[in-house]
Amino acid sequence: MSIKVITKFPDMYDFSYNYREWNRQFVEQNIILNGTFSYLFYPEHWTTLSLKFAFGGIEQYILGDMKYSVESSHYLILNRDTMYKSLISSHKPVESLTLNFTSEFAEDVFYSSFNNDEYLLDYPEVRDRHPVNFFQKLYRSDPHIKALVNSLREKVKNSSADTALLNEFLHSILEHTFRTQLTESKLADSVSSIKRSTRVELYSRLCKAKDYMTSNFTEPVDLNKLASIACLCPHHFLRKFKSSFGESPHKFLTAVRLAHAKKLLEETSLSVTEICLSCGYESLSAFGELFRKTCGLWPESYRKEHSKKVNFQII
């Protein structure tokens, strides 16, 4: 399978931009898109099966009325034929990395990963092809995917890898991603419902609400809003979320906000008040008390013990 690395993104508003020609190359070969930007916006456009990564900041992906925030701890999977917009707007450069896979490549990796050796020896070619689809959602970057992706990034940046080596990385990354789907499928099956199709649909809707909280934790979020995102009535949503993820939406949202607060305390010189507001809280005293109860320290004390910066004044 051929592969192409693109480090200069096209201007879709340029009169010379050819939409059909641009998309055709994604159908014919695997493509790695990699670039660093402080501002980047792409209007709605098509994608093949792709994995979206971002480093040093946030890249947002907008699918209809749903916004996903991708950063170093989470990546996003978009299935083939998805239409989306993307945006980077940051005071510091953000590295965008997208791995695009052709249907043939994805089918081959899937077929080879989940059939035994004897069968593959007898039938080395892909048979009975079916479109490969993932749970389209945010995924936490586990150590294995981080190691693979960081190695690929290093090769791309240094222009030190040939097509064969880059494709080996893509094989490993996609196989690992397929295996994460086994875990996702088990989680979907744990949703209490008789029909599997219903369980998968419910799980997908619950994940959409979960991703909304992960991506929009700085904004006001309530039960009615989350239920609307999941297209469920509030009580049904609350009951299924608790049974599926072992915690309430409020508890999950609190954990997301406090994880962000700890990161800012460790890595920036922002004041506690600024951090409080940036995490979606309006009351500094309520934020401080919640942080102390959850983390065992007041925000100022946590910063003194865990700060990764050495020269700034705590305000």
| Concatenated DSSP letters of 32-87 | EEEEEEEEEEEEEEEE-EEEEEEESS-EEEEETTEEEEEBTTEEEEE-TTEEEEEE
CA–CA distance, 20 with 15 (Å, rounded to integer): 13
Q: Tell me if 284 is assigned to some domain.
A: yes
Q: Determine how β-strand 59-63 pairs with β-strand 66-70.
A: antiparallel
Q: Are 18 and 161 found together in one domain?
A: yes
Q: Are 266 and 138 found together in one domain?
A: no
Tokens of 32: 């790695």
Q: What is the pTM of this model?
A: 0.87
The CATH code of the domain that includes 114 is 2.60.120.280
- The answer to whether 102 and 40 have CB atoms below 8 angstroms apart is no
The total number of structural domains in the chain stands at 3
Q: Are 240 and 272 found together in one domain?
A: no
> What is the per-residue pLDDT for 298?
96
Q: Are 203 and 66 found together in one domain?
A: no
Q: Are 173 and 222 found together in one domain?
A: no
For residue 34, list its beta bridge partners.
Answer: 97
CA–CA distance, 77 with 50 (Å, rounded to integer): 6
Domain end marker among 159, 186, 213: 186
Q: Are 20 and 130 found together in one domain?
A: yes
Q: Tell me if 311 is assigned to some domain.
A: no
> What is the per-residue pLDDT for 124?
73
Domain end marker among 186, 201, 224: 186
Q: Tell me if 15 is assigned to some domain.
A: yes
pLDDT per position in the chain (315 positions), as tens? 689 999 988 888 888 888 888 888 999 899 999 999 999 999 999 999 999 999 999 999 999 989 999 999 999 999 999 999 999 999 999 999 999 999 989 988 888 887 777 777 777 776 556 678 899 999 999 999 999 999 999 999 887 668 889 999 999 999 999 999 999 999 999 887 778 899 999 999 999 999 999 999 999 899 999 999 999 999 999 999 999 999 999 999 999 999 999 999 999 999 999 999 999 999 999 999 999 999 999 999 999 998 875 444 333
Tokens of 184: 């996702």
> What is the per-residue pLDDT for 311?
41
Q: Are 7 and 98 found together in one domain?
A: yes
Domain end marker among 186, 212, 228: 186
> What is the per-residue pLDDT for 110?
86
Q: Tell me if 314 is assigned to some domain.
A: no
Tell me the Cα Rg of the chain: 21
Burial class (CB in 10 A: 0-12, 13-18, 19+), 61: buried
Q: Are 214 and 137 found together in one domain?
A: no
Q: Tell me if 267 is assigned to some domain.
A: yes
Q: Tell me if 312 is assigned to some domain.
A: no
Domain that holds residue 296: 252-306
- The answer to whether 34 and 95 have CB atoms below 8 angstroms apart is yes
Residue 231 DSSP label = T
Q: Are 206 and 270 found together in one domain?
A: no
> What is the per-residue pLDDT for 312?
40
Instruction: For residue 306, count other CB atoms closer than 10 A to its CB.
Output: 14
Q: Tell me if 100 is assigned to some domain.
A: yes
Q: Are 77 and 163 found together in one domain?
A: yes
